[in-house]
Amino acid sequence: MLKTEVYGLILAGGKSSRMKTDKGELQYHAATSQRSFLYQMLQKYCARTFISCRGDQVTALQKEEAYITDENLYKGPLNGILSAHHLHPGKAWMVVAVDLPHVTDTTIAALINQRDDLKPATAYATQASKMPEPLIAIWEPTALTEVEKYIQAGNACPRKFLIGQDIKIIFPTEDTELFNANYYNEYLEAKNRMGVNHE
């Protein structure tokens, strides 16, 4: 039986209030924004790739970058994920948050190769926490149908949803692959770790 086709989704529609600048515009890799870097990476592994964004971010995208504008039906990252699901309901979605600076081809290839499409999702977890990371995961269509019911019941946390499901957990080679840069000092920390000069 053929696996459901995987589409890629870069979650870039957050307000970035803690970073005080659009996290998708930050540069960790030469002159390429983090948003574009991840977009180009996911294109190698997914049938189609999109950037999940707000309407006011569209003009900042490269002309070749496909995007899905958030519907604003829900709060938090599930807003972007479900906006994509509503547009392409029969697809599995590889979701990657834009604020994960240490994600590499190896990270993405492992997620694809270790995917279990018979489970609701395949998600990374750090060795330290063993808790699923919903924003670097493959969400199967069945999970996205169920998560809408979860929201309608008054819930909103994607991690708690995954904890309550029989999902597949995979682990990175190093926990730093899943490092999340929300604040400017974390941006600098990530660049230092990568040996990138500060602007």
R_g over Cα of the chain: 16
Give the pLDDT confidence score for residue 11 in this predicted structure: 95
Give the pLDDT confidence score for residue 146 in this predicted structure: 95
Give the pLDDT confidence score for residue 72 in this predicted structure: 77
Burial grade of 36 (CB within 10 A; 0-12, 13-18, 19 or more): buried
Give the pLDDT confidence score for residue 61 in this predicted structure: 82
CA distances from 25 to 12, 28, 112, 133, 155 (A): 10, 10, 26, 23, 31
Q: What is the residue-level pLDDT of the chain in tens, covering all 199 positions?
A: 678 999 999 998 676 656 767 788 899 988 799 999 999 999 999 999 999 988 877 877 888 999 999 887 887 889 999 999 999 999 999 999 999 999 999 999 999 999 999 999 999 999 999 999 999 999 999 999 999 999 999 999 999 999 999 999 999 999 999 999 989 999 999 999 988 654 4
Q: How far apart are CA 145 and CA 73, in angstroms?
A: 15
DSSP letters along 40-76, please? HHHHTTSSEEEEEE-GGGGGGS-TT--EEE---SSSS
CB 93 within 8 A of CB 100: no
This prediction's pTM: 0.92
Can you list the domains of the chain with their CATH numbers?
6-194 (3.90.550.10)
- Bridge partners of 49? 8
Q: What is the DSSP letter of 183?
A: S
Tell me the residue type at 100.
L
Give the pLDDT confidence score for residue 196 in this predicted structure: 63
Give the pLDDT confidence score for residue 29 in this predicted structure: 85
Give the pLDDT confidence score for residue 199 in this predicted structure: 47
- Taking CA 179 as the corner, what is the angle to CA 151 and CA 135, rounded to the nearest 5 degrees? 25
Give the pLDDT confidence score for residue 17 in this predicted structure: 59
Give the pLDDT confidence score for residue 120 in this predicted structure: 98
Burial grade of 180 (CB within 10 A; 0-12, 13-18, 19 or more): middle
CB neighbours (10 Å) of residue 166?
A: 10
Residue 191's region, left for phi above 0, alpha for psi from -120 to 50, else beta, is: alpha
CA distances from 9 to 5, 96, 174 (A): 13, 6, 23
Helix/strand/coil for 91: coil
